[in-house]
A and B are shown apart, each in its own frame.
Chain A
Amino acid sequence: MLIETTAAAPRIRVEVPPDFHQVPLERETEARTASQLQVLDEMGLSQADQREALSLYLEGLAVRLTTANVGGSAFCAVRLDGRPSTATLTVGLQSIGTLDRGLAVLGAAEALRRDPRYTNVAVVELGNQAAVTAVAERSLASNESTDGRRAVLREMLAFVPVQGHPWAVLLTLATPCLEDWDTYVALLLDICRSLQIERPEPSLLR
C-alpha cells in the first residue's frame, strides 16, 4: 500500500499487521473504488445502506487525506479478550532539518512536553534507535453517552527519526477501547521497530 508524500522524503516501509485495513488513498478513482470495495468485503458488511455509508465515508476521508500531511491511515476491527476492539493507525513524515537523530529526539520530546495536549512524554529505545512517545486524549462526544461514560479517543504518538535522513516518521495509534490500551501501545512500538528505508516508493505494508 502506498503512502503519498513529498519527493524529497525518504521512502519508508513499516510493517503493519494484517488485522489493519488501510483507508484507500489511490490517486486514480477506479483503483481507489476497487480498494474501497475490498475493504467493505473484508469487513463482511451485508446491509446495503451500511455498505453505502462506509463507502461514502471512505471516499470523503480519502479526499480529506490528500490535503493533510499524512502518509496513510488504517484501522482494525478485531476481537480481543472476547470483545470487539478497534484502533486506528496514522502515519506521516516530518522534516526535522538535521541528520542528528539524538538532537531531534531530545528536541521533539521537549516540544511535546511543553504542549499541554500531551502527557507521559518519554524518550524510549526501540532496538538501535531512540524515539519519543507521547499520549493524548480527545473527547469524541460533547455529552456523556447513555451509560454515563464519556467517549474518549486515546492516542499514542511516536516520533522516530530516520537514520541518514533529515526526516522523522510520526505514527499515531488511537483507540476508544481503553481497556485494550496496553496491547495497542505494545503494537505501536513493534510497528515503530519495523521501520525501514525503502526504494522506490514509500509504503505502508501489511
Chain B
Amino acid sequence: MVIESSLPLFAIFIPLLGSIAIPILRGKIEKYVNQFTVLITVLTFAMVLLMYPDIGRGNILEKSFNSGFSIGFLFQVDALGYFIGFISAFIWMLTSFYSIEYMANKGNLLRYNMFSLLSLAGMLGVVFTGNLFSLYLAFELLTVASYVLIIQEENSKAMRAGMIYLFMGIAGGLILLFSILATYAMAGTGDFTGLASKLSGSPLLHSLLPYVFWGYIIGFGVKAGLFPFHVWVPEAYSITPSPSSALFAGVMKKAGAYGILRAIYSIVGMDLLRGETMLTVLLVFSLISIFLGSAIAISQTELKKMLAYSSIAQIGYIVLGFALLTPRGATGGTLHILNHALTKSTLFLAAGSFIFKKGIVNIADLEGIGKKMPVTTACFTIAGLSMIGFPPFCGFISKWFLALGSLDVVNYGSYSFYVGVIALSTLMLSSFMNLVYYGPVIYKAWFGGENSDNPSLEYAVTDEESKIEDPSLYMLIPLIILTAGIVCFGIFPQFPVSFVQKIVDGFFSAGGCIVK
C-alpha cells in the first residue's frame, strides 16, 4: 500500500538545510560545528526511524511533486531503499560522533562538516527516490559533495586522488545519464514501479538493451568501486580522514551497489537478463573484483590502503550476489551491504584511532598495539574475523547465503552448474586470502613486539611502562556499537535475514521467475 508521507522529504532536507546553515551561522557555531553535525545526523536518523512502523507493515511511503511534466521529483521509500537508508543514516550518525574528537583542531572544519552533511543528503536522496530523474540528481550531488571530503587535507596526494575520483565520477555520471534518458525514451517513464514490464514492451529494446545495461553498470559501478572502475578507490580511501573513509567504504559505496541492484532487478528486470552474455560478463567482473582486490591487498604495507583494496573485494561479493540471479544469492548480496557497512566502518574507524593516538599508518608498526589500545584492537580483531568469514560474526551469514546461492544457479536457469562451482570456489579462495592479509595484522597487534629485536619500536616496552591508551569515549562508543552489531547480527541473524528476504521475494515474485 502506498502512503502519502513527508518523512522522506524531511530525511533528505534536514541534512541539506543543515549543511546550508553551517556557513551562514559560521561565526556562532565555529567551535561546535562537529557537535552541530552530530545533532543534524541524529535528527536525520530519527526521521528515518520514524518511517519504520509503516515500512515494517510492508507499505511504501511516497511524496510526489509530479504535476505536468513527464519527469519530476518523486520521493519514495520502499523496503530496499529503507534498508540502505537506515544503514546510511545510522553509520553517518556514529561517524560524526566519532569525528567530534578525531576532527577537533583540524583545519577546514566548516567545509568538512558542511560537505559531509551534503553527502548525507545526497546518499539518502539516492535511496529514498522513486524515479530515475530524482535518483540521478541525488547521485550527482553525492559525487560532487563527497569530492570535498577526499581533498580535505589539500596536499598533492589528496588533490590527485580527488581529481581521479571527480573525473571518473563525472564520466560515470554522464554515462549513467545516457542510460536514464534511454530508459525514459523506451519506457516513457522513470518510476521504478512496473518499469521493467514497460521496458520489455518497447520496440527499441533489442537494439538498445546492452548499451543501457552497461550504462547503468558503469555509472553505478564507478561509485561502487567494482572492477574495472575501482581505479579511484585505493588512493581516495586512504587519503581522506578516517571517519570519511568509513563513510566512503561503509556507506557511499553502497549507493553504487544499490543502483546496480535496482538496475538488475527493477529497471531492466531479471527476465530480460537471464542467460544473456552481459550478465555473465558482470559476474566475471565481480569475480575478478573479489580475487584482484584480495590479491593486491596482500601486498599492501599501509593499513588504510589494505582496507581500501579489501573493500574492492567486498563489493565484488555484493555484485556477485546480485548477478547470480537466485533468491539466496540476492539475499546474500543485500545482506552483505549491511554486514560490510558494519565491518568496514569498524575497521576504518579503528585504523583512524591508531593514527589518531599513535600516528601509526603502516601495518609493520602495529606490533604490540593490542596491549596499548586493547578495546580498539579487540574491535578491529572482531571485524577482521568477520571479514574472513568466521562464525558467529555477521560476515559468515552473508557468505553462507552467497555460497548457497551460487550453487542454486542451475535451479533458476541463470548459468550452468560449473559457473556456480567457480563462484563458490572463488568465495572460498577469497576467504582464505582475507586471512592472509587480516591475519598478520591481528596477530602482530596482539602478540607482536614482546620479544621483538627491533629496539626502535617505541611500544616494545616492558609491562611496567605500558599503560592503556585507548582513545576517549567519543571515539570508542561508535566502535563498540558497530562491533556489537557485528556480533549481534552474527548470532541472531533472524531479523535482517527475514527483512532482506521479504525484499528479495518481492523482486522474484514480481519477476515471475520460473523455478525448474
Q: Say whether A associates with B.
A: no
Q: Which residues of B contact A (CB under 8 A)?
A: none
